[in-house]
Amino acid sequence: MTLQEIKDVLRCEDLCGEAALHSEVKTVFAADLLSDVLAYAKQGTLLLTGITNQQVVRTAEMLELLAIIFVRGKRPDAETINLAKSKNIPMLTTKYILFETCGRLYNCGLRGCIESVKDDTAR
């Protein structure tokens, strides 16, 4: 599924990176904790989040994530958008909540970038 197709499904607004809308998306990761993103997201993954500060761009850059979609209608400030532009990281925003966004993408055939998290409590 391309980023353009995802944009259509989620009724997203482009914030930056329109040239990358042809990019193929194979996996998705959703989180509002950057520590979870750092621990579990994989290179080339689409990130769904409500975090709008510059750290989300730095994290996406470090992990070489494909793009960021902000949920719940959230929008980063101009400095964060400019940082993403300088790093060539596409950013979009959707009005859907995180749960709805994940469900819509799952129904389109997209899957998470991890299959399971190790359960340290199991004995």
- What is residue 54's predicted lDDT score, i.e. its pLDDT? 97
- What is residue 116's predicted lDDT score, i.e. its pLDDT? 64
Exposed e or buried b for every residue in 69-94, given b needs 16+ CB within 10 A?
bbbeeeebeeebbebbeeeebbbbbb
At the second CATH level, the architecture of 3-109 is 3-Layer(aba) Sandwich (3.40)
Number of H helices, E strands in the chain: 5, 6
Average pLDDT per 10 consecutive residues for the chain, totaling 123 residues: 96 93 94 95 96 97 97 98 96 98 95 72 52
- What is residue 118's predicted lDDT score, i.e. its pLDDT? 67
Tokens of 15: 């914030």
Asked whether the whole model's pTM tops 0.85, one would answer: yes
